[in-house]
Amino acid sequence: MKLIVYLSLLPLILCSISNIRKNNYLSNDNGHDISNTSNRGKVSIIGAGFYGTQTAFRLAQYDIFHTIVLTDIIDGRSEGIALDLNHCSSLEGFNTNIIGITTENDKGYEKTADSDIIIITAGIPRKPGMSRSDLININTKIITNVVTNIIKYSPNAIIIVVSNPLDEMTALTQIVSKFPHNRVIGQAGVLDSSRMSYFVSKKLNVPVSKVVSLTLGSHGETMVPIISKCKVNGLPLRDLLNEMDIEEICNRTRDGGTEIVSLLKTGSAYFCPASAACKMAKAIMLDTKEILPCHTWVSGQYGLEGLYIGVEAEISRQGATVIESSLSSLELKHLKSSAEIIKSKQKSLLDILSLNNT
């Protein structure tokens, strides 16, 4: 009798096991349901160097995009990297499809069509003996070509710019694309703030998760650390460190990229920069409305007008919305000084564009 009961229940048991297996299969280690791709987006990454490759890998691990397109001008490079990354999908638990595309002049960009987000990493790094103006001239031509092509196929995308020099390339991307300013964002503050948090945690020997840091302004020499917003376990940084130690941390943060370049001898940082760009892309795709420091267009906030500069912004599916917070009088002074330098850089960019168009 018991055997008959057990046999009658067997189909129900097997069905339950099947559903459990199905549910486990359709959710990855990040807790995202991967069974329905209709609400997941598409992101294109322009440039398959170390930065672009690491960005593609991290975004795939998030498993919030149905497609990642990775492009490069070197024949076969992006295709090979994409295949290698796709081989990781079973191990890493993501269902995102990564496509590699070789681009040449205006060819190949059609594969980026209908991207929700485009991350531009293209451009060359500054080389020994190269002047800053040389770098701007070369990367201006590269970014102009890239932007001209991507907007043909993704007119509604949000663009994240990481190419250097960032102040000029972010402004250039908006000028060429003619996108609303909120849909062109430069990545810098997330990176610099993360570096600062690390240096603070090491100085005080505390977990980095207990540190909150904020940097505004430019990316580099005119970066403005906002010490009044820096806290450790909820305590103001100035209650824990003297001014000399704080200045040391600020200087090391400001020169963080240069320090890495000097250690590597060839190449530059890409792990933390990629993580920063991915954090921004995730906030956009999931519409988190997270407040992050990034290069955003200001129109009156902090008394600044008509330029891209590092400020806090709410990041969502609409792009970036500037959030103006209170700063000390000295911090505001430094931010305005940074803005003057950035504005002169962006004016020089307009001069270069005028020359290129004559």
Residues of the chain falling short of pLDDT 50: 3, 5, 7, 17-18, 20-38
Q: With b meaning 16 or more CB within 10 Å and e meaning fewer, what string describes 106-140?
A: eebbebbeebbbbbbbbbeebeeeeeeeebbeebb
pLDDT at residue 305 in the model = 94
CB atoms within 10 A of CB 263: 8
Strand ranges across the sheet with 235-236: 211-212, 231-232, 235-236
Q: What is the DSSP string of 106-158?
A: TBSGGGGTT-SEEEE--SPPP-TT--HHHHHHHHHHHHHHHHHHHHHH-TT-E
pLDDT at residue 27 in the model = 47
CATH number of 41-186: 3.40.50.720
- The DSSP symbol for 220 reads S
pLDDT at residue 345 in the model = 85
In the chain, beta strands by DSSP E: 41-46, 65-72, 97-102, 117-120, 158-161, 184-186, 211-212, 215-217, 223-225, 231-232, 235-236, 290-299, 305-316, 319-322
pLDDT at residue 207 in the model = 98
Q: How far apart are CA 324 and CA 302, in angstroms?
A: 7
pLDDT at residue 358 in the model = 60
Q: Residues 36-65: pLDDT tens digits?
A: 444 589 999 999 999 999 999 999 999 999
pLDDT at residue 304 in the model = 97
pLDDT at residue 122 in the model = 95
pLDDT at residue 4 in the model = 54
CB atoms within 10 A of CB 220: 19
Domain boundaries, the chain: 41-186, 189-353
pLDDT at residue 28 in the model = 46
Q: How far apart are CA 99 and CA 70, in angstroms?
A: 6
The CATH number of domain 189-353, selected from 3.90.110.10, 3.30.1020.10, 3.40.50.300, 3.90.76.10: 3.90.110.10
pTM equals 0.88
Q: Catalytic site residue 219? A: yes
- The DSSP symbol for 163 reads P
Question: Residue 150 has which token pair?
Answer: 């991507």
Tell me how many degrees the CA angle 83-88-94 measures, rounded to the nearest 5: 110
pLDDT at residue 25 in the model = 40
Q: Please identify which of the residues 66, 219, 295, 334 carries the catalytic annotation.
A: 219
Average pLDDT, the chain: 89
Tell me how many degrees the CA angle 324-326-328 measures, rounded to the nearest 5: 135
pLDDT at residue 320 in the model = 98
- Cβ-contact 100, 78 below 8 angstroms: yes
- Cβ-contact 215, 189 below 8 angstroms: yes
Q: Residues near 219 by Cβ (< 8 Å), separated by ≥ 6?
A: 166, 167, 186, 188, 189, 191, 192, 295, 310
pLDDT at residue 355 in the model = 65
